Structure formats: C-alpha cells, structure tokens
Amino acid sequence: MNTESKIIFSNQILKELELAKSFMLELDEDGLVILSAVNVAKAEAMIKTDSSYTKSSNIDYNKSSAFLFSKLNSEMQKSVSSHKLKQTSKKTIFDIVCAIDRENSTHVNADGVGRKEISDRISNLAIDEFINYLKNPAKLELFDLISKKTTYPNDKNQKHRTNQSFASKFCHYACFYLFKGLPEQDNYSIYDNVLKKVLPRYANKYKVDYLNNDLNDYGKYRKIVDEIISKSNSNISRNGFDHLLWYYHKGRI
C-alpha cells in the first residue's frame, strides 16, 4: 500500500468515526444520559443488535423468555380462567423462570431451591388471579409473592434468598409480552444494582426527594422512577427509562 492510499484510508476512518458521533447517546453537562425518546430509541437499537441480548427477545428461539411467554399466553387462552396455572402451564412457568434468571444473571438458584420454589408459587395462582396481579401492580401482590425469602435449603452452606431484582424482571417481562400494545405493558420498572446505583444522580438532577432506604423498597423505587420521568418532561416509558440508564451505565459504575 502506497502513502497516498494510506492517507485516503485514514481519512475515511476519520469520516466514519465522525459520522458515528451522530448515533451516540446524548449526555448533559454532568455526564448523565439525557432522558428523551431519541436516546431511548438509540439504546433500544443498540440492545436489539447486541449479540449478548438478541436471543432473549427472539420469539423463534424456544428457550427465550419471548418465546415462552408467547407459549404461556396460548396455554392460558385455551384454559378456564379460574384454573390454577399448574393445571395447564406448570412446566412453562418453570421454563420462564429459568429463562429470565439465565438472561438476566439474577442467580435465583444460588440457594439450590429458588427456581423451583418461585415457579411453584406462581403456578399455584389461578390464571385470572395471575393476570389481575399483573394488570394492577399498586399493591405489588405478585412482586411480593415472588421476592419473599426462599426456604432454607438442605445444604448448610447455602442460605435462603430474597429475589427483588428477579421479581421485578419477571413482572416486567410478563407484562411486556402478555399485554403487547396495551397500557399495562409498561406496568413494572426493572429493579437491579445498576439502576439502583445511578438513580440518585437522576433524582438529584430532577429534584426528586428520596431517602437512601427508599431505594431498597421496590414500591417506593417505582414511584421515584415515575417522578423522574414526569419531571423530565421526556414522556418516555418505564421500559425505555430502564433500558436507557442500564445500557449506558452498566459499564461505567
């Protein structure tokens, strides 16, 4: 390669890098990602094309949460609403719990019993009870059922766990896939360590009052998220807020 070719190639690289800036997430002067529909769209596009996350939303992949929730929806449609989920969908519920745990690295089975115990709790609900809990999250019945402590396992080296992060993700993705296109699709915020760590910075920016222990209470956490979104005048969804902050900050905390 001669010198002239090297210069042209180098200039093309610079042009491409400059063009890439228009696709980057917009930040404010404090290094916080700006809450906007455009930034959410960029983050969603990045997640959709990131090979680490494409399987989870692939409805054609039979081990993905997307596929399994579609399967659950079909099973529930064919059943009587007063029947318990375990009468028609016990295995599907267990597979969903495993998929969400795997896709989100929530480690619910670190106690040796989490996946089965949580699956059994959900499967013991009647179908209409399950749907009503998802549609009406104010009392957080389903979240509390899933997140409560597991029983002590037989192995003395393992301890029971509470699973708040997993509970929020199960409820979030259940609504996301079962209520597609409906207002209830956005009923639950995702609760995890990344969001919990960065939320105070956004609460301070938008002058949302909170106490540190509020972030340990999912109901209060969810209200703080809602107030930040409201005060930002961004009109973004809870889902968009979660994805935007998580994707930008996960490698920066």
Digit-coded pLDDT (tens) for 160-193? 899 999 999 999 999 999 999 999 999 999 999 9
Report pLDDT for 2: 59
Residues of the chain predicted below pLDDT 70: 1-10, 152-155
State the average pLDDT for the chain.
92
Helix pair 218-232, 238-249: axis angle to 10 deg: 90
Burial 118-154 (b: 16+ CB within 10 A, else e): bbebbbebebebbbebbeebeebebbeebbeebeebe
The pLDDT, as a whole number, for residue 77 is: 95
Predicted model pTM? 0.91
Q: What is the pLDDT of residue 10?
A: 67
